Amino acid sequence: MDYIHLRDMQFFGYHGVLPEENVLGQRFRATVSIAVDIQKAGQTDELSNTVSYVGIYDICKEVIEGKPYKLIEAVAETIASNILSSYEGQVFGCKVEIIKPDPPIPGHYKEVAVEIVRGRFYE
């Protein structure tokens, strides 16, 4: 299995349980890995033989900057579902990590994050 990774994409969204998160918004980071077969692309140097990472980026941007969700779990699930349905037959699985660097909770920590794996990611 081969993989394409889009690491540390950054967006601004309005996801969260607290009302101020839905009004003020905040930064979110996303890392997505997709399981694909890119051998033919490597041999031919043709974009038509791979999955364009621009399309994957656009899905992430649309979800994170779009409709607000209460949970970053729902954001991750929606991204994974949209990738798998948009690239059915090309993407065998995906791993999505959503990072909330500044959640409104007291304490000292770097960030909070969720990571999900959907489809057949490891062979």
H helix or E strand, kind and range, residue 1 = none
Strands (E), 58-122: 93-100, 112-119
Q: Provide CB contacts within 8 A for 116, sequence distance 6+.
A: 73, 76, 77, 80, 95, 96
Q: Is 100 designated active site? A: yes
Whose CA is closest to 93, among 61, 57, 117? 117
Q: Which of 40, 67, 95, 100 is catalytic?
A: 100
| Two tokens, residue 27 | 């930064």
Rounded Cα distance, 43 and 85, in Å: 26
Strands 112-119 and 2-13, by their bridges, are unpaired
- Catalytic machinery residues: 100
